[in-house]
């Protein structure tokens, strides 16, 4: 699923500008207007959240969509949209991997670890090693979810 952070990263990558920069030059305001418009069209995020991501308020987002976006260079908008379209399948695949990890792989690991702990007399070191491995897997899963908003 495409989210606000993903759109921001693509717009910043294509325009080579930092959208949270307070600069009021035309190239910055155009890039932010493109970001606002795409976020509004492609996500269910509120205008407050869209603006907060780049350090702006909801009124600035509305102004950007209604007044700035109509005069933005449409070629730049098309370039950003093409980049989003070409990158989105990769993001969706990664979301699928994270979902599969959480639904299929982690329960298997937990069952195996529970069996090993229940079946053997583990001293503290063995138990700590198993606990550390499971903890690492859970942390990696959480990092994937955070990074890709799954």
Band of the pLDDT at 135, cuts 50, 70, 90?
Answer: low
Residue 67 sits in the same domain as residue 101: no
List, as own/partner pairs, every contact residues 91-98 make where C-beta atoms lie below 8 angstroms and the sequence separation is at least 24, other chains included. Answer: 91/2, 91/6, 91/148, 92/1, 94/144, 94/148, 95/1, 95/148, 95/150, 97/144, 98/141, 98/144, 98/145, 98/148, 98/150
Give the DSSP per-residue string, 103-118.
IIIHHHHHHHHHHHHH
What's the total number of domains in the chain? Answer: 2
Is the model more confident about 14 or about 127?
14
Separation CA 33–CA 27 (nearest Å): 10
Residue 8 sits in the same domain as residue 49: yes
Whether residue 119 lies inside any domain: the answer is yes
Confidence check: pLDDT of 150 > 50: no
Residue 119 is predicted with a pLDDT of: 47
Q: What is the CATH number of the domain that holds 65?
A: 1.10.1750.10
Question: 47 is in which domain, residue-wise?
Answer: 4-75
Does the predicted TM-score (pTM) go above 0.85? no
Boundary residue ending a domain (43, 75, 107) = 75
The pLDDT tens digits for 35-59 are 999 999 988 999 999 999 999 999 9
Taking residues 1-22, what's their average pLDDT? 90
Separation CA 6–CA 129 (nearest Å): 36
Residue 19 sits in the same domain as residue 69: yes
Whether residue 129 lies inside any domain: the answer is yes
Separation CA 46–CA 66 (nearest Å): 16
Is the model more confident about 27 or about 124?
27
Backbone phi, psi, residue 46, to 5°? -75, 160
- Report whether 53 contacts 4 (CB < 8 A): yes
Residue 34 sits in the same domain as residue 11: yes
Residue 95 sits in the same domain as residue 71: no
């Amino acid at each position: 699923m495409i989210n606000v952070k993903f759109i921001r990263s693509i717009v910043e990558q294509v325009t080579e500008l930092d959208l949270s920069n307070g600069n009021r030059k035309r190239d910055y305001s155009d890039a932010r207007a493109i970001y606002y418009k795409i976020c509004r069209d492609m996500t269910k995020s509120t205008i407050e959240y869209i603006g907060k991501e780049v350090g702006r308020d909801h009124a600035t987002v509305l102004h950007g969509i209604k007044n700035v976006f109509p005069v933005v260079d449409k070629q730049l908008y098309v370039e950003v949209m093409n980049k989003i379209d070409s990158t989105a399948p990769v993001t969706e695949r990664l979301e699928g991997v994270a979902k599969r990890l959480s639904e299929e792989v982690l329960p298997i690991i937990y069952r195996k670890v529970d069996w090993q702990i229940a079946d053997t007399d583990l001293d503290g070191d063995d138990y700590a090693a198993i606990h550390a491995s499971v903890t690492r897997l859970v942390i990696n899963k959480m990092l994937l979810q955070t990074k890709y908003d799954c």
